[in-house]
Amino acid sequence: MKAAILSAFGKPLEIGNVPDPGIGTGEVLVDVVAAPVLSYAGEVFSGARRYLLPTPVVPGCGAIGRVRAVGPDATRLQPGDWVFCDPTVRSRDGADTPDITLQGWSARGEGGEKLQRYFRDGAFAERIRVPTENAAAIGPIEAAEAGSWCAINTLLIAYGGLLAGGFRPGETLLVSGATGHFGAATVALGLAMGARRVLAPGRNAVVLDDLRARFGDRLVPVRLSSDEAADRRAMRDAAGGPIDCVQDFLPPSVPASVARTAIMTLRQGGRAVLMGGVGMLGGEDLALPYPWIMRNLVTVRGQWMYDAAAVPGLVGLIRGGLLDLRQWSVTAFPLADANAAVAYAAADAGPFKLTVLMP
């Protein structure tokens, strides 16, 4: 089969032939119809991000495709079924604290690297082998819709955070980092899940105006300054009531003070979920005041990726018409133009934009 191969970090992807993956018990073979090209793929392939990804490898994180063959223990999936190939592969012998690898992308820790040795190659290919539980049925779609369905890759991460934070209909959600790729997806999800109001603080006026135009009055933009106290007041005033949940997707380039300002808008008993990159490039610590957390009964938790149970819930939001994938604009490239797709994804990064390979 044809695939895009990363032979070594710092080299362009090579388009060539690799053996068809075989499958056994607990595995599914999927014909890839569309695979997302993440905006920072070039940084991964150059080695700048130092991801745990052994080369040579067929990269690619997630896909939409059709089942080609199933293992002997599959009881519901059938050849021809449309599925989302969930890249978050979990070890099966550690139910409480599973090791995780992101197939075709990276791994977490020693156990994740061990898992990666088998589920190694990703979706930049005509076919991909995934664990049976990672072939999530999405129901019938038209082939032309497959690119839009690749938005699941981003949405699942945002949805996993909202589930971890116990977000409920009727609550007010503040999305810290709302003008970014994952933050904007969180805005869309919060509204789809029945938020009373979603606050979108940021400095990018163009993106804030776009969010308001897309989602209407329940989306409230808040222009940030460099004054923590003033920004906290502005967010609380815009909420028009208690702020129940803060989800943070701020990137590593943003100082911790921006995240702290948002979190400290929470009501008594509020929850904050940290999913961004603050502090990963050094700088000041988050430094939330101990007395404030304790006296206000605030919960602060981290969340990496999502639980497997998030997948059917997200598909249900889409199928129920609560979440409209047409919000995302899609630019598609053939597999032969994988390097051009990587460059385009970096240059055209932003909220509600998708670059995909269509083998």
CB 3 within 8 A of CB 58: yes
Nearest to 160 by CA among 304, 358, 37: 304
Q: In the prediction, which pLDDT does 280 show?
A: 84
Confidence tier at 341 by pLDDT (50, 70, 90): very high
What letter represents residue 60's amino acid?
A: G
User: Would the pLDDT of 95 be above 80?
Assistant: no
Q: Work out the average pLDDT over 238-262.
A: 96
User: Would the pLDDT of 226 be above 90?
Assistant: no
C-alpha–C-alpha distance, residues 135 and 95, integer Å: 19
Q: Work out the average pLDDT over 296-306.
A: 95
Q: In the prediction, which pLDDT does 308 show?
A: 86
pLDDT tens digits for range 65-80: 999 999 999 999 999 9
Maximum mean pLDDT: which of 17-21, 280-284, 307-311: 17-21
Q: Work out the average pLDDT over 93-112.
A: 90
- The DSSP secondary-structure symbol of 325 reads G
Q: What is the pTM of this model?
A: 0.93
User: Would the pLDDT of 94 be above 80?
Assistant: no
CB 199 within 8 A of CB 206: no
Domains of the chain: 2-151+328-357 (3.90.180.10), 156-302 (3.40.50.720)
| Residues listed for the chain | 359
Helix/strand/coil percent split, the chain, to 5: 30, 25, 45
Q: In the prediction, which pLDDT does 103 show?
A: 98
Q: Work out the average pLDDT over 32-51.
A: 95
C-alpha–C-alpha distance, residues 43 and 312, integer Å: 31
User: Would the pLDDT of 174 be above 90?
Assistant: yes
The average confidence (pLDDT) of the chain is 96
Maximum mean pLDDT: which of 12-16, 284-288, 302-306: 12-16
User: Would the pLDDT of 310 be above 80?
Assistant: yes
Confidence tier at 120 by pLDDT (50, 70, 90): very high
Residue 98 sits at the vertex; the CA angle it makes with 93 and 100, to the nearest 5 degrees, is 115
Stretch (H or E) spanning 311: helix 310-319
Confidence tier at 276 by pLDDT (50, 70, 90): very high
Percent of the chain scored above 90 by pLDDT? 93
